[in-house]
Structure 1
Amino acid sequence: MPPPGVCLNIMKTRHKKDGYGSLASPEKFLNQDFNQLKQYCLVQGVRYIDEFFPPDRNSIGQGVVNPSDLSRIEWLRPRVSKIVPNPAFIVDGVSRFDFGQGIVGNCWFLASIGALTFQNHILVQVVPLEQSFDEDYCGLFHFRFWRFGRWVDVVIDDKLPTIDGRLIFVHSTTPNEFWPALLEKAYAKVCGSYSDMSAGTPSEALVDFTGGVHICFQLADASPNLWQLMFRAAQSKSLMGCGTPQGETSANTVAPNGLVEGHAYTVTGVKQVMSRGEAVNLVRLWNPWGQGEWIGDWSDKASMASDFMEKNKNKNKKTVICVLSKLICDFQRMAMGDFCRFFSDLDICSLCPDFLDGNSSCHWKSSFHDGRWVAGTTAGGCTNYHSFWTNPQYRVKIQGLLDECAQKQGEKNMLVSLMQKPDKRNRRLVKNLHIGFMIYEAISIGKFPASFFNTHLPVAQTKTYMNAREVMEFFTLKPGEYLIVPSTFKPNETASFILSILSKAETHIQYAVSPPPACLNVVMSA
């Protein structure tokens, strides 16, 4: 038997472009094949009913609908019911104006959809646009999500829960448009039920929409260059979401400043304007509720926008109107200082992490690796426990950067993310463990014994162990060899995880073959 901590089940999870589980060839969620099911329904002349997410109370879930209303719910198909006379999948394109929140508390999901509607190249990954209620209709639709290292294709029927002929969950502001309700149903299926979508953060859905790089910033200690990073993220067509802190009483209370407490918003853009002789960095926000608006500086009720128009009235009119339309429209806008003051966190999710660095000649590279903590063998807990050394260990070699990628003093050159995988399908039943990781300078080859961790301190680590789906940290590490040790806070807790490592240069993975590898060797340039 190999010694404790030996990584017997570590594999690189980045797929080949057309490999199974990739976006080009997604896995069939619950082994349901969209094309086969559609062909069967068309040949048999029947409309599809999903046996894995049936139109019943189990799919609604617990606590989201009043018990007295459960018996009133009727599952209706848009095409063959009295919801609307002429249903359509999409009407006049996809936009944030298309939907409103229903009775389930999933503003985090809707804020993420709002971000998705601004990036069509990402939207088409999630929402196959060729679907309709017309040609070859059989009550069958499908959507794609990234789920813990794999893209999955999710099949649903189009029976939607209604009361008195009205949709009770996400509904479209255009009555005969149904892509928002069907997308929500597909994600509810992945989560286990509609009620399993209650409460969350935009980052979860943003990652599931992109399969990309996710970075979270705590705005209370935001770096001075955060706005510049947001600007680059917007230029690179990233998805951004943010949240307000919880109120003293309950969530979703409108504060005196007009913002909703404990609520998710979409960051739809950033813009710099000159006002009163000074450059002002603005953040543009969208509330998925469609109501409740910031009333401070740069709001519709403030004088800044009026002053801006007045002082620029002699300039090119089209340019001024264009700038203001990007700022105002249906959004809320606020100065960067107020944004960091009144919002708690910012999530940025991108297909490519190059926006992290303003140097266009240098590209960040990412790698993803599956791992697992197993009680009694590879689950040693945090450094409070003598068994810490038995956790999975990852060796990383950081080489010097090429001249064109040379970094400034103190500039971050590595991002490490640790995401735990759920052990249950129903999202509300998943109990996230407290997870984190330590990074040490590596001074030997092979498995690092307990004595090493008794005599060496980490050079970098997560700020705290968190019971979150994902924890991450930015680091500045000098060239050399390092050891990354992901762990749960307590020992003997079993769970699977994905370790993501991002650097500014090519990533090389080396696997030991015999004897069984004590760790995964990762060679990187940063």
Structure 2
Amino acid sequence: MPPPATGLFVDLEFPACVSSLLGRGNTPLTPLCDRITWLRPQEICPSPHLFPENRKDAIGKQGILGDCWFICACSALQKSPSLLHQVFPADQCTWEDQGYTGCFVCRFWRFGRWVEVTIDDRLPCLGHKLCFSHCQDQGAFWLPLLEKAYAKLHGCYEALWAGQVVDALVDLTGGLVERWSLEFAEESFREEMLSRMLDLKDRCAMSCSVLHSKEGSRDLGQFHAFTITDIQHGFTKDGQPLLLFRIHNPWGRSCWEGSWGKSGNKWALMDQTESSRFLSQIQDGEFWVDKEEFFREFNEVAVAFPVIKTDHVQSIWTGSVLSHTQQIYGSWIKGQNAGGSRNNSSFSNNPKYWLRVRKQSEVYLILMQISPRGEIGTSNNMSSRKLQREGSYSMVPIAVGLHLWKVEKRRFNLQKTILTTPVAGTSSHSYDRQLHLRCKLSPGYHLLIPSTFLRDTEGDFLLRVLSIGPITLREITSNPPLEWASNDMMPGTWETQELKGQWKKSNSAGGSRNFPSYHLNPAIPFCVPTNSQLVKFTLRQHNLENSCHAIGFHVYLVPTDGSLSPFSQVPCASCIPHSHSLEVSQICDLAPGQYIVVPSTYLPDQECTFSIFISTLTERKPIQSEETLGQILKEVSVISLMK
């Protein structure tokens, strides 16, 4: 084998050492680490290449890492060349190119955005052979490189030891995935499911899993995922129809000795030509099962929605393109808006959103919980600190739910509305990282409330809406009473200050309260006079609408004796969750005193200038001008800070 070239890229953020293999060290990978070496592809085989000439040879094998769930999800990339190039960008220099550097870039969809992960091509090996994933064609390296990038995203290889196929499919497609339970499924549902699978088998990634072994079928293992590579109709000698599923085991070897195994007894039901046709199609690790065996042996199916060339998701139920997308980040914070499920009287305190549907549409409402210590990927390169914080070891899922009500008009009674039956809602709160509701919604306004099952459970989330028709999604930023709809409804005079500031990286862009750098944010003082009733805050970022940061603010009371920092207190008012909007506002009922307002972006180090308007409603009668202006004059003072 030729020696590796010198001067190749070395990834210092994900080094070729034990720290990139192990996290907690509580898996069977631990005792093997001392024997693992890191080699570049040209040290492993004489002529490495990214992709095999024969598409079937790209199918993945698992190796000694327990990441069958990820290997199965990678079948989505084999179904769609455009999606493959989205995740594994084309035109990267390889070992056959003169400009080869040993550096590769992969992309993953993380919490609402595509993020890039850069790696070198040193891969874990045992005895000069890849010890983790590899392709049927062992000279093709796209899969082990993608697996390494995914391991870096999670902090280490061991973090991939167990997971959900649906989560990996979302990370690889940025779309929707449905999970269908096969246990106790009614016959009508099974038939509808089979119809969908037959229609989608050439366009969608489909996986089936065994969650617990059944008596007499231990061949398939437990907590193991498989790829459905094909579904075909067949016929017996006497013309009886058959439906056979071709299943691939990521172990790369057959594990099934059932009736349709290679030496199974049911092949005799077919004539030789028909049976030879089926048997000639299977590769290493593949086997056939019929419909009855499929429903008996497997516990659930995962189906990824097709992603078409325009990067839009296509409905698996109607074939319609979900061409309209909106998303908002949010948080449940203890003592503020973590109201719990509908079992709690505090349910109405949860984050609330207006969803306006412009025309009758098929709509998908998606709630994705984000790791409590995770990062929302916004930059092209992710530091090792961020990668570690985003790791699956820090992900402690919480039970979440989502409910939707149709309202006839914007001004409504919140408490009465949430006591009625929702138009759509989760039947139970789920620990899934992502859940969704499929709805057919009529034009008008809808109230959308995501919640945790237990009150005061904290967490971050991403709320997405995909629709075939135009929609508008925005958060309800005003606290009850919701009847505070406009300034004109409140008698008195509004006195407004405009204050300008800037979030500057490593200086005044501290991010949200989730980050230790929060105290770096601008702290803007203001006073609530004794004759004041209400204070309205409006935060406006000076940014383009399509590149908005998620913004929000907190208001703190300044202690009269100066003994405590305002940051050490619980905010007395907040405009959260942070919203990707040009402007957010909140009306607060504050007692007279000295305060500071702290505007922030959700993530640290996001730079932008901003203006914040502080309007105080006083009980003074409005000043009437003798001139024929026809409107109330408002006193406005402009103050410029922190230029």
Same fold (TM over 0.5): yes
State the SS of the aligned residue for 2:219: coil
CA contact (8 A) 1:96 1:117 kept: no
| 1:40-439 matched pairs, under 5 angstroms | 46-61=7-22, 62-64=25-27, 67-79=30-42, 81=43, 83-95=44-56, 99-130=60-91, 131-135=93-97, 136-220=99-183, 221=185, 223=189, 224-235=191-202, 237-247=203-213, 256=217, 258-275=219-236, 276-310=238-272, 324=278, 328=282, 331-349=286-304, 350-351=306-307, 353-357=313-317, 362-365=320-323, 367-375=325-333, 376-396=335-355, 413-422=362-371, 423=374, 424-439=389-404
CA distance in structure 2 between the partners assigned to 1:480 and 1:323 by the alignment: 55
Residue matched to 1:408: none
Residues of 2 paired with 1:415 and 1:341: CA distance?
31
8 Å Cα contact 1:327/1:333 also seen in 2: no
Whole-Å separation in 1 of the counterparts to 2:116 and 2:88: 10
CA 1:355/1:68 → structure 2, altered by over 3 Å: closer, same or farther? closer
Per the TM alignment, residue 171 of structure 1 is displaced from its structure 2 partner at its CA by 3.5
Q: How far apart, in 2, do the equivalents of 1:305 and 1:476 lie?
A: 45
Between the aligned partners of 1:457 and 1:69, the Cα distance in structure 2 is 55
Counterpart amino acid of 1:281?
A: L
Distance 1:192 1:480 in 2: 44
TM-score by length of 1: 0.75
CA distance in 1: counterparts of 2:201 and 2:52, whole angstroms: 26
SS in 2 for 1:124: helix
Q: Deviations over 1:14-50 (max 9, x none)?
A: xxxxxxxxxxxxxxxxxxxxxxxxxxxx9xx722111
TM-score (ref. length: structure 2): 0.62
Counterpart AA for 2:399 = H
Query: Structure 1: which 5+ runs fail to align?
Result: 1-41, 249-253, 314-319, 406-412, 521-526
Alpha-carbon distance, 1:198 to partner: 1.0
| Paired residue type of 1:351 | V
Which residue does 1:32 correspond to in 2? none
Percent of matched pairs sharing the same residue: 28
Question: Structure 1 pair 178/97, CA: closer, same or farther in 2 (3 Å)?
Answer: closer
In structure 2, the CA distance between the partners of 1:305 and 1:321, relative to structure 1 (3 Å rule), is closer
Deviation at 1:303, TM superposition (A): 4.8
Shift of 1:225: 0.8
Q: Deviations over 1:108-151 (max 9, x none)?
A: 11112244334333222222343411321122111122112111
SS in 1 for 2:197: helix
- Stretches of structure 2 that go unaligned for 5 or more consecutive residues are 375-388, 478-484, 487-537, 539-574, 580-643
Q: How far apart, CA to CA, are the structure 1 residues paired with 2:448 and 2:197?
A: 29
Hey, what does 1:442 align to over in structure 2?
407
- Whether contact under 8 Å (1:257, 1:294) holds in the other structure is no
Q: Radius of gyration: which is bigger? A: 2
Q: CA deviation at 1:293?
A: 3.6
Which region of structure 1 is more displaced relative to structure 2, 286-295 or 473-482? 473-482
Give the distance between the partners of 1:388 and 1:198, measured in 2 at CA. 37
Q: CA deviation at 1:490?
A: 1.8
Q: What do residues 41-83 of structure 1 show as CA deviations (whole Å, max 9, x unaligned)?
A: x9xx72211122111221111234655543333322233x4x3
**CA-to-aligned-CA distance 1:455-486 (integer Å, 9 cap, x gap):** 32334321221222112344466776532211
| 1:219 CA drift (Å) | 1.8
